[in-house]
Amino acid sequence: MTLRGREVLKNPRLNKGTAFTQHERDELGLNGVLPPVISTMEQQVERALANMRRQSTDIDKYIFLSSLQKRNERLYFRLLIEHTQELMPLVYTPTVGQACEEFAAIFRETAGFYITPNDRGNIESVLANWPEQDVRLIVVTDGERILGLGDLGANGMGIPIGKLALYCACAGVDPQQCMPIMLDVGTENQGFLCDPFYLGLQQPRLRGEEYDAFIEEFIQAVKSRFPNALLQFEDFATPNAVKLLERYRDELLCFNDDIQGTAAVAVAGLIASTCVTKKALSDQKFLFFGAGSASTGIGALLVKALQREGLSEQEARDRLFYINRKGLVTQHHADSLGSHLLPFAKDMADMSFDETLREVRPDVLIGASGTPGVFTRDVIEFMGSIHEAPVIFALSNPTSKAECTAQDAYGWTDGRAVFASGSPFGVVHINGEIKVPGQGNNAYIFPGLGLGALHGGAARITDEMLITSAETLATCVTDTEIAQGCLYPPLQTIREVSVKIAVAVAEKAQELGDVKAPLPADFEQGLRAALYDPNY
């Protein structure tokens, strides 16, 4: 049935607002329903941008953009593509964090898909309620560890929605093929449990065997209903994140962005840092402050990267040191370490972070602890005293949680530090030079990785594909950017970066032979032609 009149305007996929041509207005019964002037998409982009900027707070801008997405999908994505640098922090971290915290209060219209333990036994038929048949990309969370904000329960829906928006804008995935899913298994957030406006299940989280069985049914239902889809796990609490990845990574096309996407983006930054330090990664020692899913994910991939440079697995592990709340992670505490951390436990005396720093004398210091300010002046000056170009990554998000600021890293090393962060920092002026700190944003990796895995017909996401994505990202940084201290390319180039990563990942999957079909000869051309490019 062809929609007409206001019904057309209510369909975000069809709606062009004031850009409907006279011919379309005649055909669709839109005369009189729209103001007479016919706008171009460029004019609409300018108008939407000006309106967005007029909103006084970031959360208001987020609400404005969400409404635009639900009103005119093509215009929303055009805006996001053309103004990625400005809009990404609104559509994703940090503003999406606030949007999740206030999700129930700002709720206007549903988006995404909710599955709860009440659906057990019927999950596959519930999935059939999603209006699209050809789903290729699912981002799923259970809301237990939303960014650095903890358990936000069903309010975490903002995360899959935001990540999928980035897939469409940064890697040209068709929004029609995307499905954000919230597995609402309850919450331990006491505020939400007694908030009358909370929109999720007001009951304690499902745990243990019941949780595992619920997830298992969900995974089997996805495989059956959407057999061509890639599943991205997002913001699960670390024990579940690690367990689900181990359990399912060989069973279906899936990955965990907090573990593997973070790992690839960090390893890309480390590869790029060697252009400054002039030292092979395999000649360096790495000290991680924080031993959670982010830093052990980085460690696991880094070990593979070091093996590619010729080290044995054990030699590679020997170069990585972890600090948790008890200090250096050693074998003395083996009983209390998770399976992801155990391989990195050292046969050394227990010691504090400061003692480890002085004992190990690392080339690279990586913070992923969520504890701000732990890279003190003393720590950074020590790194500067033992290396000409000390590598310091402060990856904790949001900005307020960073282990040090860009100003600290450059200021306390006379501008010699090679710095990257999880959240964006502005440029730093030091000794007459301008330093442009790079942001190790996962959005550099996951859209291209997912696109390449999907189009390349990969059966699973392997470590080799992750390393390939990291190496490709590192090659996208120019000498000029490196000279300014930036280890990542400008966000405005992210669509091209994603395509390069996608092609490299698809070719790697092909080389490994773990694919459903061979790549066509003109793969890259076909991929580029198939990218979602919102226009009228």
Task: Determine if residue 66 is left, alpha or beta; phi over 0 gives left, psi from -120 to 50 gives alpha, anything else beta.
Answer: alpha
Contact between 440 and ligand NAD (CB under 6 A)? yes
Contact between 448 and ligand NAD (CB under 6 A)? no
Q: Catalytic positions, please?
A: 92, 163
User: Segment contacting ligand NAD (CB under 6 A): 131-139, 223-231, 367-375, 491-499?
Assistant: 367-375
Contact between 422 and ligand NAD (CB under 6 A)? yes
Among 148, 153, 362, 447, binds ligand NAD (CB under 6 A): 148
Tokens standing for residue 97: 């964090």
User: Which of 304, 401 has the CB closer to ligand NAD?
Assistant: 401
353: nearest Cα among 345, 344, 365, 341 = 365
9: nearest Cα among 71, 64, 89 = 71
Contact between 437 and ligand NAD (CB under 6 A)? no
Beta partners for residue 515, in sequence order: 458
User: Segment contacting ligand NAD (CB under 6 A): 107-115, 124-132, 258-266, 471-479?
Assistant: 258-266
Residues 316-345 that bind ligand NAD (CB under 6 A): 323-325
Least separation in angstroms between CB 229 and ligand NAD: 23
Residue carrying the six token digits 């367990």: 243
Q: How far apart are the first and last CA of the chain?
A: 21
Beta partners for residue 520, in sequence order: none
Least separation in angstroms between CB 215 and ligand NAD: 19
Least separation in angstroms between CB 262 and ligand NAD: 4
Tokens standing for residue 74: 């093509």
Q: In what order do the strands lie in the sheet with 364-367?
A: 327-328, 320-324, 286-289, 364-367, 391-394, 418-421, 438-439
User: Segment contacting ligand NAD (CB under 6 A): 286-294, 380-388, 408-416, 505-513?
Assistant: 286-294
Contact between 292 and ligand NAD (CB under 6 A)? yes
Contact between 299 and ligand NAD (CB under 6 A)? no
User: Which of 69, 295 has the CB closer to ligand NAD?
Assistant: 295
Helices 494-512, 446-455: inter-axial angle, 10-degree rounding: 40
Least separation in angstroms between CB 186 and ligand NAD: 20
Q: How many CA atoms lie within 13 A of 44 on its CB side?
A: 24
Residues 6 or more apart from 86 whose CB is under 8 A from it? Answer: none
Contact 424, 474 (CB under 8 A): no
- Cα angle, residue 390 at apex, residues 387 and 394 outer, rounded to 5°: 155
Q: For the chain, give the longest Cα–Cα distance.
A: 80
Residues 260-279 that bind ligand NAD (CB under 6 A): 262, 265
Least separation in angstroms between CB 146 and ligand NAD: 10
- When CB distances to ligand NAD are compared, the closest residue is 292
- Pairing of β 428-430 and β 433-435: antiparallel
**CA 469, 473, 476, 479 torsion-angle sign:** negative
User: Which of 68, 329 has the CB closer to ligand NAD?
Assistant: 329
Contact between 366 and ligand NAD (CB under 6 A)? no
Contact between 438 and ligand NAD (CB under 6 A)? no
User: Which of 114, 353 has the CB closer to ligand NAD?
Assistant: 353
User: Segment contacting ligand NAD (CB under 6 A): 80-88, 208-216, 269-277, 288-296?
Assistant: 288-296
Q: φ and ψ at 246, to 5 degrees?
A: -60, -40
Least separation in angstroms between CB 374 and ligand NAD: 6
Contact between 291 and ligand NAD (CB under 6 A)? yes
By CB under 6 A, name the binding residues for ligand NAD: 147-148, 238, 258, 262, 265, 290-295, 323-325, 368-371, 395-397, 401, 422, 440, 442
